């Protein structure tokens, strides 16, 4: 019986012995080449050749994604974790104020530092007390509704983009300032109001700093994300 070889539609970009994963289907081959010229000027007069890879050929390249992604995009993610056909990106977000929207009104509130992680269109968010320096640094529940205890964000109607170095910040802003926060998953997110973290938001409206004593341990460390 004849067998049919299955091919992947994921793109991989090669230059010499260097391999770079696809930054996103929204970028044309010419746009990717233009970006790579920033780091490899000798590509200024390069010609492009395209080849369709079999699934076996594609997977042989997958184990190089994590190491080489940062070569192509050194100024974006704080870390890159390789998975078989998906790259997971993580960024550290310093403490700042956000314009958040519960059901009844909006608040301009301070938030603690975050660790924000994305893969595909799925994202996770955790709070931290300072910029992580190692895999044993503790994570805390983000003081926000719509976040599972695992850190996974419940998307609802928010149209999150596919995670890439260029749009992971966009996804974070969509969650924090483009979501309508109801009572879903609002419990267990702060010390003062364990039943509904939005009551803490009302107290913090207009203030400059988030009280780190309000954070609830997630019983996880950064190493669980790496």
Mean of the pLDDT values across residues 44-60?
59
**pLDDT of 140 over the 70 cut:** yes
Local confidence band at 3 (pLDDT 50, 70, 90 cut-offs): very low
Mean of the pLDDT values across residues 96-114?
94
b/e per residue, 100-118, with b = 16+ CB within 10 A?
Answer: bebeeeebebbbbbbbbbb
Residue of higher predicted confidence among 29 and 166? 166
Local confidence band at 36 (pLDDT 50, 70, 90 cut-offs): confident
Average pLDDT along the chain: 79
**pLDDT of 84 over the 70 cut:** no
Share of the chain above pLDDT 70, in %: 67
Mean of the pLDDT values across residues 64-79?
48
Predicted pLDDT of residue 224: 86
Q: Which residues have a Cβ under 8 Å from the Cβ of 188 and sit 6 or more positions away?
A: 141, 149, 194, 216
């Amino acid at each position: 019986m004849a067998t049919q070889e299955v091919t992947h539609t994921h793109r991989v970009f090669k230059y010499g012995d260097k391999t770079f994963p696809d930054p996103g289907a929204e970028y044309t081959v010419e746009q990717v080449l233009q970006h790579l010229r920033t780091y490899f000027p000798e590509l200024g007069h390069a010609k492009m050749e395209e080849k369709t890879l079999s699934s076996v050929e594609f997977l042989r390249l997958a184990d190089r994604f994590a190491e080489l992604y940062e070569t192509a995009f050194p100024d974006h993610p704080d870390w890159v974790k390789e998975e078989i056909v998906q790259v997971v990106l993580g960024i550290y977000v310093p403490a700042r104020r956000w314009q958040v929207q519960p059901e009844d009104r909006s608040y301009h509130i301070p938030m603690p530092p975050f660790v924000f992680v994305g893969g595909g269109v799925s994202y996770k968010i955790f709070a931290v007390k300072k910029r992580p320096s190692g895999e044993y640094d503790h994570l805390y529940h983000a003081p926000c509704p719509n976040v599972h205890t695992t850190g996974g964000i419940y998307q609802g109607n928010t149209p999150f983009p596919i995670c890439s170095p260029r749009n992971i910040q966009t996804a974070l802003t969509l969650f924090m300032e483009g979501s309508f926060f109801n009572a879903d998953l609002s419990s267990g997110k702060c010390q003062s109001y364990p039943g509904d973290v939005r009551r803490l938001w009302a107290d913090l409206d207009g203030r400059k700093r988030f009280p780190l004593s309000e954070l609830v341990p997630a019983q996880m460390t950064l190493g669980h994300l790496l």
